[in-house]
Amino acid sequence: MKSGVRVDLDIPHLTKEVKEACDKAAERGAKRVLRDAKSYLMSHAKHPTGKLAGEIKLESSKYKGGGYAVEAQGPGNYTRFYATFVELGSIRNPQPIPYLRNSLKANRKYINKQFEGVLD
């Protein structure tokens, strides 16, 4: 038998803790993007009614590893198409209002700091 000190890592337990911490960090980041997307949309829309902003939701990611998605998809096809037309622009309104992309871009540092906190 060797002398010295030994530390065993309980990988399954550690993995669960890391996943939960990462999930909370992702949720905090997604909530910030959600908040800012609604705000950006309301401040940049030509005629802000709040209807589309009310359709922006935080959802669990479809990916097996977890995570979150911020999406604008209402109950009908019209709202889904409209959300895309506003974000990307359309023939009728060629000037896009990139409310989701700009909100994500503005919050990248915040989101990275959330994950850095998990790794400290």
In the chain, DSSP assigns E strands to: 56-60, 68-72
Q: Which residue has the tokens 């998605």?
A: 69
What pTM did the predictor assign?
0.82
Return the pLDDT at 75.
57
* pLDDT band with cut points at 50, 70 and 90 for residue 118: confident
Find out whether 68 and 24 touch, Cβ atoms under 8 Å: no
Higher pLDDT pick, 59 / 13? 59
Higher pLDDT pick, 48 / 1? 48
Q: Which residue has the tokens 């409310």?
A: 99
Find out whether 61 and 71 touch, Cβ atoms under 8 Å: no
The tens digit of pLDDT for each residue in 2-32 reads 666 766 666 666 678 888 888 999 999 999 9
Return the pLDDT at 35.
97
Task: Work out the mean pLDDT of the chain and round it to a whole number.
Answer: 85
Alpha helices in 45-76 (DSSP H): 51-54
Q: Within 10 A of 53 (CB to CB), how many other CB atoms are there?
A: 17
pLDDT above 70 as % of the chain = 82
64: pLDDT strictly greater than 90: no
Tokens at 27, concatenated: 């949720």
Taking residues 98-105, report their average pLDDT. Answer: 94
**Computed over its alpha carbons, how large is the radius of gyration of the chain?**
20
